[in-house]
């Protein structure tokens, strides 16, 4: 466990083998004193492997990536908070660039824009279109200029998170955090990142992407 960390990185996971390489890369990028918190909803054997990484590991008892990230953020000690998916699809350098923007007071929350750097086979046209529609809706409602509100990477100021830490998460992925900050007047911005195909399995976010998208749209409009 890192002592007096300035940066905390939250990684929600369900049996993702890519996470072990991600942990090593984060330590190379950000230094050994970076606090890494894994929120895990997996098998006992996988949990035991996670413990050996030296990261803080929290067992998730409820469901939903929003609840997992919220649990990790509440346990974090850093003044700058970040989160990244455990599937290895997001460019890790996005965290360092997001930290720079936060440190320079250019934003309160920085999202990683995957659409700026899609690798072949990383996101199909259906998901690209749905993401663009939802992001445009977010931009209209909250007067922002972002391109990927459903990304799996963000960096956030601690002081901003403290204002929403008692909000009960709803089903919207990272858009939940963006919505709650934007409607309170915090600046949500983005940086371009590369986005790679999953190395194994399928996304665990939602069985019906259409129903999930409708739900996110309703949260953007009515929360």
Q: Residue 198: is it exposed, middle or buried by C-beta count within 10 angstroms (0-12/13-18/19+)?
A: middle
Looking at 46-50, 97-101, 195-199, which range is the least confident one? 195-199
Give the domain ranges of the chain.
7-222
**207/148 Cα distance (integer angstroms):** 20
Decide if 149 contacts 162 (C-beta within 8 A).
Answer: no
What pLDDT does 223 receive? Answer: 83
pLDDT at 201 over 80: no
Q: Which residue has the tokens 């690209």?
A: 128
pLDDT digits (tens, 9 = 90+) for 69-115: 999 999 999 999 999 999 999 999 999 999 999 999 999 999 999 99
State residue 28's pLDDT score. Answer: 95
pLDDT, mean over the chain: 94
Chosen CATH of 7-222 out of 3.90.550.10, 3.90.1150.10, 3.40.50.300, 3.40.630.40 = 3.90.550.10
Statement: residue 200 has pLDDT above 90: no
Give the pLDDT confidence score for residue 202 in this predicted structure. Answer: 64
Does the structure show a pLDDT above 90 at 216? yes
For the cut 60, the answer to whether the pLDDT of residue 195 exceeds it is yes
Q: What is the CA radius of gyration of the chain?
A: 16
Mind listing the pLDDT tens digit for each residue in 14-29? 999 999 999 999 999 9
How does 137-161 read in b/e, with b if 16+ C-beta sit within 10 Å? ebbeebebebbbbbbbbbbbbbebb
What is the arithmetic mean of pLDDT over 165-173? 97
Provide the phi-psi class of 183: left if phi over 0, else alpha when psi is between -120 and 50, else beta: alpha
What's the pLDDT score for residue 2?
62
pLDDT digit string, tens, across residues 132-159: 999 999 999 999 999 999 999 999 999 9
Q: What's the pLDDT score for residue 204?
A: 59
Q: If pLDDT is split at 50, 70 and 90, which confidence band does 1 have?
A: low
Whether 208 shows a pLDDT value over 90: the answer reads no
Tokens encoding 64: 């939903």
């Amino acid at each position: 466990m890192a002592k007096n960390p300035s940066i905390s990185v939250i990684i929600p996971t369900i049996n993702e083998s890519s996470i072990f390489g991600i942990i090593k890369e984060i330590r190379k990028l950000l230094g050994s004193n970076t606090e890494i918190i894994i929120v895990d909803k997996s098998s006992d054997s996988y949990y035991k492997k996670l413990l050996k990484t030296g990261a803080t590991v929290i067992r998730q008892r409820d469901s939903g990536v929003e609840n997992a990230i919220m649990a990790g953020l509440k346990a974090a000690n850093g003044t700058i908070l970040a989160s990244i998916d455990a599937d290895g699809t997001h460019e890790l350098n996005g965290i360092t660039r997001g930290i720079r923007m936060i440190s320079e007071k250019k934003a309160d929350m920085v999202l990683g824009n995957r659409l700026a750097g899609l690798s072949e086979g990383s996101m199909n046209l259906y998901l690209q279109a749905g993401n663009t529609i939802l992001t445009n809706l977010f931009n209209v409602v909250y007067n922002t200029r972002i391109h990927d509100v459903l990304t799996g990477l963000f960096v956030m100021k601690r002081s901003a998170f403290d204002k929403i830490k008692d909000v009960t998460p709803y089903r919207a992925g990272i858009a939940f955090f963006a919505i709650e900050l934007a409607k309170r007047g915090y600046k949500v911005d983005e940086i371009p990142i590369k986005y790679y195909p999953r190395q194994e399995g399928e996304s665990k976010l939602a069985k019906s992407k259409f129903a999930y998208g409708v739900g996110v749209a309703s949260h953007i409009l009515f929360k």
